[in-house]
Amino acid sequence: MTDRDAAPFDLAAMRKQYRSEGLLEADLAATPVEQFARWFKQAATEGGLFEPNAMIVSTADARGRPSSRTVLLKHFDDEGFVFYTNYDSRKGRDLAENPYVSLLFPWHGVARQVIVNGVARRTGRDETAAYFRTRPHGSQLGAWASAQSRVVASRDELDAAYAELASRYPEGEQVPVPPHWGGFRVRPETVEFWQGRENRLHDRLRYVAEPGGGWRVERLAP
Ligand SMILES: Cc1cc2nc3c(=O)[nH]c(=O)nc-3n(C[C@H](O)[C@H](O)[C@H](O)COP(=O)(O)O)c2cc1C
């Protein structure tokens, strides 16, 4: 295989014309969470997007070095956006040092993206336990078997750890909630709703949290 075979796409020429229906200030809901709920519903139903709750979570360590990964949003309400992970993972360690986080929902299929910037804090243990109990048995064991983000010697090592746990906690047996596993709730400081439009003149409306409560909306140049 030559290098040319490996790169058959002319990426510079790949571009789509986006829809023309815009996003106007007058159309926005009173709060970003309500607006998110509207767009989320549209992405999941009319948009037919696969896993619209998949989001890119970006964190930075104490020295400001960024990293990103995909995570599933599991809950949202006026208190914030919740995801679950391993607290000892890279993202978990980053957030312990630096709680500022960015969540990006890349809804390309409907020419939209939502970007939430805010502060993450751990969910309470009761809330974590309640969610853990809803997970399939295998995922519960997986949370114990994997020291997420650590180097592992081999696939066999991972499979052996899982098999050992599966024999200790057979299907039907209650799996304890791992102490190193749980949720983060991101309380938004800004939420941007981006709607692709023609000629790259996209709509970008950003809610900004006001110090005394409530939200201000500003329009950003595309
Ligand atoms: C579609 C998708 C959904 C994912 N959902 C989660 C999730 O909810 N929680 C999680 O910890 N990792 C999830 N992952 C795995 C993460 O992307 C990542 O590999 C893992 O969390 C370790 O990241 P870190 O080492 O940067 O902390 C998901 C990956 C994909 C592709």
Ligand 1 pocket residue status of 111, Cβ below 6 Å: no
Residue 109 tokens read as 């299929």
Ligand 1 pocket residue status of 68, Cβ below 6 Å: no
Q: What is the pLDDT of residues 138-164, one digit of tens each?
A: 999 999 999 999 999 999 999 999 999
CB 104 within 8 A of CB 117: no
CB 174 within 8 A of CB 165: no
Single-letter amino acid code for the residue at 216: R
Ligand 1 pocket residue status of 123, Cβ below 6 Å: no
Contacts of 152 (CB under 8 A, 6+ apart): 158
Query: Which one is catalytic: 200, 206, 216, 219?
Result: 200
The DSSP letter of residue 155 is H
- C-alpha 95 to ligand 1 mean position (Å): 15
pLDDT classification of 5: cutoffs 50, 70, 90: low
Taking 80 as the threshold, does the pLDDT of residue 2 lie above it? no
Ligand 1 pocket residue status of 59, Cβ below 6 Å: no
Q: What is the pLDDT of residues 213-222, one digit of tens each?
A: 999 999 999 9
**What is the residue extent of each domain of the chain?**
20-135+179-219
Selection from 169, 140, 145 nearest residue 155 by Cα: 145
- C-alpha 70 to ligand 1 mean position (Å): 5
Taking 70 as the threshold, does the pLDDT of residue 1 lie above it? no
Identify whether 65 is a catalytic site residue: no
pLDDT classification of 71: cutoffs 50, 70, 90: very high
In CATH, what number does 20-135+179-219 get? 2.30.110.10
